[in-house]
Amino acid sequence: MTSEELHKEFEDAVDRINAHTEPFPADFLLRLYAYYKKATNDYGQPSSRKPIINAFKTNALFQVQNISQDEAKREYINLVNNYFLYRK
């Protein structure tokens, strides 16, 4: 898969998540958050008003610090595909 194809598939996965109207499990959201931030090179600090949420987000970002941007896109795509494949 070329870099352009990967980016297109990543953007499609982001659109699927943004179009979904039902709530997601918190652990799933944290993984999406971390992979999205890594995939888009957005290294800004979490900005929730609740310190505990910022701590969880920071931890999620820490867990993906050693993967590449392309790998983060692939993991994000896999998470989205698996969620919609196996959700009840």
Q: What is the CATH number of the domain that holds 77?
A: 1.20.80.10
Give one word for 41, left, alpha or beta, with left for phi > 0 and alpha for psi -120 to 50.
Answer: left
Task: Band the pLDDT of 88: cuts 50, 70, 90.
Answer: low
Number of folded domains in the chain?
A: 1
Question: Do residues 78 and 87 touch, judged by C-beta distance below 8 A?
Answer: no
Mean per-residue pLDDT, 1-29: 94
Range of the domain at 46: 3-86
Question: What pLDDT is recorded for position 28?
Answer: 95
pLDDT 10s digits, 31-76: 999 999 999 988 777 777 888 888 999 899 999 999 999 999 999 9
pLDDT at residue 87, as a whole number: 76
Q: What is the arithmetic mean of pLDDT over 84-88?
A: 80
Q: Quickly list H helices, 1-88.
A: 3-19, 26-39, 51-63, 69-86
